[in-house]
Structure 1
Amino acid sequence: WAQSADILESIGADFSVMHPLIKATLDKTLTMSPHDGQTGPARRGDVDIIKKHLSMLSGVKHKLYETLSTDIMNEYHHNLTDHQS
């Protein structure tokens, strides 16, 4: 959460914009399996959005997002592994 707060602060947004996403994520965690509840661009195989997100990140944040996205895509979309181009 601290990482998202830093990113939001850097663009002048308040962390409270994350509250609905946090609540929805926690609600899903309590009602379904992590595998079934996984959402987001990597889960959907949305390579274009992942590339856009990566272009906005640098350093450790870039590597972390890239690593997690690749892992999620490999789990759900075995044929989509080259999203870094």
Structure 2
Amino acid sequence: MTSHPMPRSAAWSPRSPKARPTTSLGDLEKIDHEIVAAAANLPGKEAGKSALDEAAEKAKEVFKDLVDSIRSAFSRDHGHDAHSRPSPSPSPGR
């Protein structure tokens, strides 16, 4: 049997106080704000626009196209249902 270089009591354990993260939610929020600020200052392909502005504009276009596609699909289905129904048969008495 091989011996471990460190005693079992010193090994990492999820319950160990050393295993607790030292980063708080406030630290993560600060980092998040720094990332957003850096992204806002990153120049875009077009003059006068940031990369973040361009990405937001592209996301807006993609979302608008998606909504238009969904509306079109539902309006096609609705129109298709109205035209696909058989017309009433003439009554046998006529």
- TM-score tier, shorter chain, comes to under 0.3
Bigger Cα Rg: 2
Q: TM-score, normalised by structure 1?
A: 0.26
Higher-helix-fraction structure: 1
Higher relative contact order (CA 8 A, sep 6+): 1
Q: TM-score, normalised by structure 2?
A: 0.24
